[in-house]
A and B are shown apart, each in its own frame.
Chain A
Amino acid sequence: MNPRPTVVWIFAALGSVGVVASLFAATPERFWGNWLLWFLFVLTVGLGSLFIVALGHLVGARWSVPIRRAPERLSGLVVLAAPMALIALLSLPVLYPWARPEGALNPVVAGKAPWLNVPFFVIRVVVCFALWGLAYSILIGGSMRQDQTRDPAFSVRARHFAPAFMVIFGLTITAVAFDWISSLEPEWYSDIIGVYLFAGTFLAGLAASALVVIYLVEHGRLPGVTNDHLYNLGGFMFAFTVFWSYIGFAQYLLMWYGDMPEEIFWYKQRIEGPWLNVVLLLAVVHFLVPFFALIPRGTKGEPRSLRWVAVLVLAAHFLDLYWLILPVAGTSPPFSWPEISFALCFLGLALLWVRRAMRSGADMPVGDPWLQEGLEFRL
């Protein structure tokens, strides 16, 4: 979104040099952990945006029609995540014990072999991306075409497709959580991890969408969109900040209570030693600050304040993924030039990707029959 793409290009190029260097200089676990982290960050921001689009169609929301183009364009990040996923498949033997030969020696891991094996894993990844691509082409492609055709039939079709997408989304986001995150430690299991990832994904999509909408409003590209529309995005962020905390704490509480060795080791890795600082920071930036910041009516409706909360929520989602993934790379949180290089490279790429998407099509779904009603929305 930076108005000077050359600066972003330079940073991304610098970052990619660092990424290539860290492939040789850093430990393989650290390199691939960072790769997985950024792949999942880009993917979840895109998927969260796709979910927001489908949710609007599902419930027939009118207020969100004028700002729908923002999550629609951000959904393109799922496309950017696809090559990242293909490369991340190379990390299987490095990060995932079940993909190594000694995985068969562990009876627990061997028992999960029907699900956790490389061919089936690859099939699941391909099927997930195919389903998301299908949803993208139906919901976003159709919406873009509607700009020209002004055909209200798309709005009806999207509403009929949205329930099916919800089922697909529920299954695929759970698969992402189980496959890419949970199976880093294949002895561990948590039924709720899919819901946990969904909460963070939806929040990330909301925050990114709010940032795009605020940017466009400030550049006068969304005439008619008021603070009331932003207020709704802020309200969603408030609700799902609480939801994320609720789910995260529910998972922790049960495992803490049970104190079973096969469950609690996952938390011991993540709340003992230097990682305690990370989880405390996570509680502050993912719950405490956004929660109290979003309580006043003024924060939710004011572009100036909502922007900072959205940036914080996006960063908190990143920290959440960092806390989920990077403990496999070491007992202390890695942060040095490889991490900065990854951030420069992939943040730059994602920004350029979104910037390119921002130039295609109109800034509002001008062909949607509900656009006028959406513009008239007031609290």
Chain B
Amino acid sequence: MSERVVAVAGLFDSAQVLLQAIPRVRAAKLGRVEAYTPYPVHGIDAALDLRRSPLAGMVLVAGMLGAITALFFQWWMTAVDYPIVVGGKALFSWQAFVPIMFEVTVLFATFTAGLGMLFLLNRLPFFGHPLLASKAIAAVTRNKFALAVEAEGEPLDVEAAKAALATAGATGIEVLSSQRELLPLQFLTRAAMGIVASCVVAGYAMYWVIKLFPVLPPMVHMEDQPKLNPQKASAFFKDSHGMQLPVEGTVARGYLPYLIATQEEAAGLVNPLPRTEPVLQAGRTAYNQHCAVCHSLLGTGRPTLTSAYGAKPANLQAQTIRDYPDGKIYHAIMKGKNAMPSYAADLTEDERWAVVHYVRVLQRAQNARDEDFQ
């Protein structure tokens, strides 16, 4: 790539001289005039006729966008997509959203300010500003002020620029040309290679660190406490087994032993549940799930099952069963009857009694009395 003149720069001794020189150099209208100073100089914005930075507006818009984004996200997640009541508050509780809205506002605003300044306004990435290669730059970082006429699109009139700077009082005028420009593809390749290299280095470093310095469990107090582990030895018991049979006569919580042996003995049991709608609903659910497959939805029994099952399922509408006290039906559920197995394991205590109620409802539905129609 051929060398191209990008700027002509000259040095000034003080900010005052620089400020006086700027309008004169600008008047020559040779290209963009840019000042390089060791510290911010008051009034230089006006002298260079810099337009107001659009950054403030960008930050304002991004901040408001952040607030709206956070509000929308939280509304969508907590009130629409996966509604969960927290602490008895309404699903859309704006009060709880405000801290996150505040944080996201700040996040969007600061990222826009930082990245917008670096990439949009300062036109990163670029590698090496021409002025950095100049002889003047060392002085600019100490006590001198540089003014540069920079090419804008068309080639710079080098001699005219030199003359303009010289008449404005600049010393040490030099012509700056671009050495070499990095193409975007080259930049991307190098960046990708750099990322891959750092991943490889970090991965191997992590591997060896973990290998050489074994990771200690951070907190083991809960694990180390004296306790019984199933299927592990224990020094606490004589037979040194961790698992022990329950003490004789132990009853599991919620399961009272059923000591009645015959259906006749069970005749005296009284249904403890009231005949309320929720109980009957529970009874219907349990009946339809467990009983109806053989006894049919109406309780009449399904003769079609006889050949497959070896016995005819009882017709619950039969007069003998209609005459049963509640306890006998309950006993049949608990212990089974004829070919019917026990359903004690499938139904809870309350469900069994609810089924008994429901069977009574089915029987009454098939044998309605006159007063039921009034």
Q: Which residues of B contact A249 (CB under 8 A)?
A: 98
Residue of A whose beta carbon sits closest to that of B59: A295
B87 in the interface (beta carbon within 8 A): yes
Beta-carbon contacts under 8 Å, B41-58 to A: 42, 56
B96 in the interface (beta carbon within 8 A): yes
* Among A257, A295, A378, contact of B87 (Cβ-Cβ < 8 Å): A257
0/1 per residue, A243-275, Cβ < 8 Å to B?
A: 000000100110011010000000000000000
Residue of B whose beta carbon sits closest to that of A297: B56
B99 in the interface (beta carbon within 8 A): yes
B95 in the interface (beta carbon within 8 A): yes
**B residues contacting the other copy or chain, number (CB 8 A):** 9
Q: Which residues of A contact B98 (CB under 8 A)?
A: 249, 253
Cross-chain contact B95 with A295 (CB below 8 angstroms): no
Residue with the highest number of chain B CB atoms closer than 10 Å, among A252, A257, A378: A257
Docked Cα-Cα span, A328 to B231, in Å, equals 68
Docked Cα-Cα span, A252 to B96, in Å, equals 11
**B310 CB, min distance to chain A CBs, angstroms:** 64
Cross-chain contact B96 with A257 (CB below 8 angstroms): yes
0/1 per residue, A222-262, Cβ < 8 Å to B?
A: 00000000000000000000000000010011001101000
Cross-chain contact B95 with A256 (CB below 8 angstroms): yes
Cross-chain contact B99 with A253 (CB below 8 angstroms): yes
Q: Which residues of B contact A252 (CB under 8 A)?
A: 95
Residue of B whose beta carbon sits closest to that of A378: B42
0/1 per residue, B52-87, Cβ < 8 Å to A?
A: 000010001000000000000000000000000001
Beta-carbon contacts under 8 Å, B82-107 to A: 87-88, 95-96, 98-99
Docked Cα-Cα span, A297 to B99, in Å, equals 27
**A residues contacting the other copy or chain, number (CB 8 A):** 9
Docked Cα-Cα span, A253 to B89, in Å, equals 12
Docked Cα-Cα span, A220 to B15, in Å, equals 31
Q: Which residues of B contact A257 (CB under 8 A)?
A: 87, 95-96
Beta-carbon contacts under 8 Å, B80-136 to A: 87-88, 95-96, 98-99
**B96 CB, min distance to chain A CBs, angstroms:** 7
Q: Which residues of B contact A295 (CB under 8 A)?
A: 60
Docked Cα-Cα span, A249 to B56, in Å, equals 26
Docked Cα-Cα span, A253 to B60, in Å, equals 25
Cross-chain contact B95 with A259 (CB below 8 angstroms): no
Residue of B whose beta carbon sits closest to that of A379: B42
**A298 CB, min distance to chain B CBs, angstroms:** 11
Docked Cα-Cα span, A23 to B88, in Å, equals 46
With contacts A249-B98, A253-B99 taken as known, whether A259 is within 8 angstroms of B87 at the C-beta atoms is: yes
Beta-carbon contacts under 8 Å, A299-347 to B: none
Q: Which residues of B contact A253 (CB under 8 A)?
A: 95-96, 98-99
Docked Cα-Cα span, A85 to B251, in Å, equals 74
Beta-carbon contacts under 8 Å, B313-337 to A: none
Docked Cα-Cα span, A252 to B88, in Å, equals 17
Q: Which residues of A contact B87 (CB under 8 A)?
A: 257, 259
0/1 per residue, B172-205, Cβ < 8 Å to A?
A: 0000000000000000000000000000000000
Q: Which residues of A contact B60 (CB under 8 A)?
A: 295
**B58 CB, min distance to chain A CBs, angstroms:** 13
CB pairs A–B below 8 angstroms (15 shown): A249-B98, A252-B95, A253-B95, A253-B96, A253-B98, A253-B99, A256-B95, A257-B87, A257-B95, A257-B96, A259-B87, A259-B88, A295-B60, A297-B56, A378-B42
Contact surface of A with B, Cβ cutoff 8 Å: 249, 252-253, 256-257, 259, 295, 297, 378
In the complex, the 8 A-B pairs of residues with the closest C-beta atoms, listed nearest first? A256-B95, A378-B42, A253-B95, A249-B98, A295-B60, A253-B98, A257-B87, A253-B99
Given contacts A256-B95, A295-B60, 13 further A-B contacts (CB under 8 A): A249-B98, A252-B95, A253-B95, A253-B96, A253-B98, A253-B99, A257-B87, A257-B95, A257-B96, A259-B87, A259-B88, A297-B56, A378-B42
